[in-house]
Amino acid sequence: MNTGNSKNVLLVVLVAIVSSIVTVFGYNAISKNNSDKAGSGLSGGIVSEDVRGYANTFEQDKNVVLTNLTTAEGYPDFTEAASKSVDGVVHVKTTTVTQQQYINPFDFFFGFGDRMPSQPREQVGYGSGVIISKDGYIITNNHVVANAREVSVTLNDNREFVAKVVGTDTQSDIALIKIEGENLPYLTFGNSDALKVGEWVLAVGNPFNLTSTVTAGIVSAKNRGNVMGGELGIQSFIQIDAAVNPGNSGGALVNTRGELVGINTAIYSQTGSFAGYAFAVPISIAGKVASDLKEYGSVQRALLGIMAPNIEEVRRHDPDKARELSLIKGVVVEGFGDRSAAKAAGIQKGDIITAINNTPVHNFAELQNQLNRYRPGNKVNVTVDRNGNSRSFTVELTNDEGSTEITKGTSAINTLGAKFKQIPDEKKRSLGISSGIEVESVESNGLLRKEGINKGFIIMRINNTAVNSESDITNIVTATNNSQDKVLLVAGFYPPNGRTQYIAIDLTNRR
């Protein structure tokens, strides 16, 4: 080997060694930086906008995503994202039993007599769900599983499982259910904040009971409010034009990397079928709700404690003022709640909130989108415009009771303060009832006892839904606890010949 070649070889070796050292040190520095960010968590201090700890709740592996793919012609390639997504999206079947009342004609014409025995009617519903952990946690819509007596899940490989409802939230229309399995295929959380209008997305679900259906479209708008007439508690939906139909509810909205960025929830249609507009709950909100339901049994909502003008309401009475408000880039603080975290931090009436943790907010929907990812006790930096000057305040968010405490949900049985036992079919026939469960015992300070329901009482229906087991009661109470009207209407009687009683139980009247 000549001297020139030796020098060249030595130079190559030195370059390789130096490159390796730089790579190792660079990797360690990046890893340390990422580790520091991940370790900041969501409790205490200013919550980093880069930290989304909800995936950690479900032990999702990091970096299990695809790169953006294109065809040879340069067009987006959805095949890999679709292939990855269909295995993580499931078919959800629910069974609900309702009672169909028949009125005794004597009661109708002469004002006496009694209702004839009610007839149970079984209803079967279908929807979709998204597996978000290898051990079987699944996100779906609340309206898919609401008041369901039985929930079953079918995977893309046709395996069937019985699912347990972990928790539901009517305000976001998100529910968390669980099947027992190991190493199940699941979708990893993406960054719904990073979605851009015009970006390609896929909707994966089971429209019209057709399993494993993938449709493509673009993001039509973000932070869309007044969906479903504003009935839902969140007003920051992702609007898409991918075809979504009945049965898609609870399914996945994924980006071209195969990441879960939303849960398909609603369509805008005058016919009940797809008409060009569909809406998904961003995963920044749905993931947080699911995490709360798993960890605490109820959703932890963080509030600033401010009142903001409703532009649509103002427009009905004062169009000029509404036009003026719509030009403001931010949220006007019109007033404060009885106990306000914002007021305690120094924010004043008339201030215009322009950013949360340096993320700009242009309207109330965007403000709500930011707040929905935090919990009571988290501290956020709120930027306001006060008479043309920008000011920042650190606000410790509170719950709806004005406290920074995390509230844990209790089981339905504990809420009612009672034990129940199932009634054999033979005894039901002798009592002339089609559904019912017997109160086995009550606690002296329980809600049932407070409303006069004691041992031996037969509960036939709650909120006009038949009950035959403790799980039926659990599902109904859980759904009611997460609704705005937290009242149970119990229909039952004392055997053998007691009259039917209708008793209202206010779930907010806790022990």
- What does the DSSP assignment read for 427-444? HHHHHT-SS-EEEEEE-T
pLDDT at 99: 53
134: helix, coil or strand?
coil
Strand 174-178 to 137-141 pairing: antiparallel
Maximum CA extent, the chain: 119
CA distance 418 to 215: 48
Pair 367, 356: CB distance under 8 Å: yes
CA distance 370 to 357: 9
Instruction: Express the helix, strand and coil content of the chain in percent, nearest 5 each.
Output: 25, 30, 40
| Residue 351 annotated among the catalytic residues of the structure | no
Catalytic-role residue among 85, 143, 292, 472: 143
Alpha-carbon Rg for the chain in angstroms: 27
Pair 288, 300: CB distance under 8 Å: no
pLDDT at 444: 84
| Residue 143 annotated among the catalytic residues of the structure | yes
Catalytic-role residue among 85, 133, 173, 220: 173
What ranges do the domains of the chain cover?
Answer: 88-178, 306-396, 412-506
pLDDT at 66: 60
Per-residue pLDDT 10s for the chain (511 aa) are 444 444 444 443 343 433 443 333 343 333 334 333 333 333 333 433 433 578 888 988 865 556 666 777 777 789 999 998 999 999 999 988 665 555 555 444 444 444 455 556 778 999 999 999 999 999 999 999 987 878 999 999 999 999 999 999 988 999 999 999 999 999 999 999 899 999 999 999 999 989 889 999 999 999 887 776 656 667 789 999 999 999 999 999 999 999 999 999 988 877 878 888 899 999 999 999 999 999 988 899 999 999 999 887 888 889 999 899 989 999 999 999 999 999 999 999 999 999 999 999 998 888 988 998 899 999 999 999 999 999 999 999 999 888 998 877 666 667 788 999 999 999 999 999 999 999 999 988 889 999 999 999 999 999 888 899 887 888 788 777 766 678 899 999 999 888 999 999 998 776 4
| DSSP label of 209 | G
Count of C-beta atoms within a 10 Å radius of residue 259: 23
pLDDT at 107: 44
pLDDT at 274: 84
pLDDT at 230: 58
| CATH 2.30.42.10 fits domain 412-506 | yes
Pair 152, 132: CB distance under 8 Å: no
Q: Which residue has the tokens 């190991």?
A: 182
Catalytic-role residue among 249, 291, 298, 435: 249
Per-residue tokens: 430:
């002798």
CA 205 → CA 20, 100, 129, 319, distances in Å? 46, 32, 8, 42
313: helix, coil or strand?
helix
CA 311 → CA 232, 307, 348, 353, distances in Å? 17, 12, 20, 16
- Side chain identity at residue 53, one-letter code: G
Per-residue tokens: 93:
């079947």
372: helix, coil or strand?
coil
Which of 2.40.10.10, 1.20.120.450, 3.30.1360.170, 1.20.910.10 is the CATH number of 88-178?
2.40.10.10
Pair 434, 450: CB distance under 8 Å: no
CATH number of 306-396: 2.30.42.10
CA distance 73 to 354: 43
